[in-house]
Amino acid sequence: MTSVKIGIAGCAGRMGQMLLNEVRATKGAALAGGTEQPGGTAIGKDVAALIGGAPTGAVVTDDPAALFARADVVIDFTAPAASVHHAQLAAAAGKAMVIGTTGLSVDQRAALAAAARAVPIVFAPNMSLGVNLLLALVEQAAAKLGPGFDIEILELHHKHKVDAPSGTALALGEAAARGRGVALGDVAVRARDGHTGARPDGAIGFAVLRGGAAVGDHEVMFLGEAERIEISHRASSRRIYAQGAVRAALWLQGRPPGLFGMKDVLGLG
């Protein structure tokens, strides 16, 4: 069986190196190369050198178009503007993509959807199996418990994370809103400070914590008058995201154009 050639955008970063290791460890996958920003110290090196492996012949480049020419699929956990640009390159090259970047605006998400009309793209704010099961549970709980329960979402990440709330926290909010049949934008409360008044009925609140090296903790609370239900997920290694992304990259082979999520990859319906 021919291996799927997988390229890694931003391959020299922490997540990029985790993805390189996961591709090398996955049967049926092979490294096609990686990208870094112009001037990066990894440019021109064999990608395996970044993770202490034997040379593969696949190099790091500052030209994303060159990577798309070599790869069957590219995995991208970079930054919103870069991910959108890469999706446009994927559409032009006829290559699939897996995007785990968070913090995309409405317009940037629309740009991904436009690119996905030409090629298959998996886009998910969180690639882990556990979190995607959590999303399904939260949607069901919100639907079953009804408006008598207030919903609050708490998330904790390492001090270097630049977007808040996390993409996963927002996805959890969207799942809860779907369960209630409302739009998250109409009910979200993303900050509280000072004399805020009573909590609005039907609101979905967010609380953000940052510090240390926390990989990612998410908790959804359903607070009733006489009882409280808490559903949580705690990540102890970024490997869970890399495992999900590589699984998605393999799943994309032979798929038609379209914008898919991890629910599709994992068969969660």
- Is-contact 175 142, C-beta < 8 A? yes
- Is-contact 234 7, C-beta < 8 A? no
Give me the active site residues, please.
Answer: 157, 161
Q: Which residues contact 220 (CB under 8 A, 6 or more apart)?
A: 134, 138, 141, 151, 152, 153, 154, 172, 176, 230, 231, 232
Bridging pattern class, strands 228-235 and 188-189 = unpaired
Of the candidate CATH numbers 3.40.50.300, 3.40.190.10, 3.30.360.10, 3.60.15.10, the domain formed by 129-235 belongs to: 3.30.360.10
pLDDT per residue over 197-212, tens digit each? 999 999 999 999 999 9
- Is-contact 58 24, C-beta < 8 A? no
pLDDT digit of tens for each residue in the chain (269 aa)? 689 999 999 999 999 999 999 999 999 999 999 999 999 999 999 999 999 988 989 999 999 999 999 999 999 999 999 999 999 999 999 999 999 998 899 999 999 999 999 999 999 988 998 999 999 999 999 999 999 999 999 999 999 999 999 989 999 999 999 999 999 999 999 999 999 999 999 999 999 999 999 999 999 999 999 999 999 999 999 899 999 999 999 999 999 999 999 989 988 86
Q: Which residues belong to CATH 3.40.50.720 in the chain?
A: 4-123+238-266
Q: Which residues contact 234 (CB under 8 A, 6 or more apart)?
A: 216, 217, 218
Q: Which residues contact 145 (CB under 8 A, 6 or more apart)?
A: 222, 224, 229
Taking Cα atoms as reference points, which of 145, 156, 266 lies closest to residue 213? 156
Helix spans in the chain (H): 14-25, 64-70, 80-93, 106-115, 129-145, 167-180, 184-187, 239-251, 262-266
How many residues comprise the chain?
A: 269
Q: Which residues belong to CATH 3.30.360.10 in the chain?
A: 129-235
- Is-contact 6 246, C-beta < 8 A? yes
Task: State whether CATH 3.40.50.80 applies to domain 4-123+238-266.
Answer: no
DSSP designation for 59:
B
